[in-house]
């Protein structure tokens, strides 16, 4: 069973389009994250939700909007895509406070042309 899954795995789209990436975890974790990894492998946190509530919102353009319909899902919607949005986006989950281990999804490679 996949612990943290993301769809799609690859996403190629044109500038100006709107797209969504879905994430689901079946670990029963309370906390979920979105990270962006650029071509230099730097992994930057974007958002974190705990029990469906937003708790971390880093300096991310407001074109990016996370949505957590329930504890097991954290989706990322991106409006008006730009070339600089091209990256690999990772979803992760964590049991919550008191636990360091994060479980990452396989990533979604977004290419904006």
Partner 1 sequence: LAKTTQPISMDSYEGQEVNITCSHNNIATNDYITWYQQFPSQGPRFIIQGYKTKVTNEVASLFIPADRKSSTLSLPRVSLSDTAVYYCLVGDVNDYKLSFGAGTTVTVRA
Scan residues 56-95 and list those touching partner 1 (CB under 8 A).
56, 90, 92
Residue 2 interacting with partner 1 (CB under 8 A): no
Question: Mind giving me the DSSP string for 15-58?
Answer: TT--EEEEEEE-S--SEEEEEEE-TT--EEEEEEEETTEEEEE-
Question: Which of residues 12 and 43 has its CB atom nearest to partner 1 in the complex?
Answer: 43
Residues 102 and 90 sit within 8 Å (Cβ to Cβ)? no
Closest approach of Cβ 88 to partner 1, in Å? 9
Q: How far apart are CA 105 and CA 110, in angstroms?
A: 15
Residue 97 interacting with partner 1 (CB under 8 A): yes
Among 43, 61, 79, 82, binds partner 1 (CB under 8 A): 43
Contacts with partner 1, residue ranges (CB under 8 A): 4, 31, 35, 40-45, 48, 50, 55-56, 90, 92, 97-107
């Amino acid at each position: 069973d996949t612990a943290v899954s993301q769809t799609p795995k690859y996403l190629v789209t044109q500038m100006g389009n709107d797209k969504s990436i879905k994430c689901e975890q079946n670990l029963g974790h309370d906390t979920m994250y979105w990270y962006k990894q650029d071509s230099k492998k730097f992994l930057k946190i974007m958002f974190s939700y705990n029990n469906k509530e937003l708790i971390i919102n880093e300096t991310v353009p407001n074109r990016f909007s996370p949505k957590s319909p329930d504890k097991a899902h954290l989706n990322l919607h991106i409006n008006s895509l730009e070339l600089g949005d091209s990256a690999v986006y990772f979803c992760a989950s964590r049991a919550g406070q008191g636990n360091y281990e994060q479980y990452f999804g396989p990533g979604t490679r977004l290419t904006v042309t």
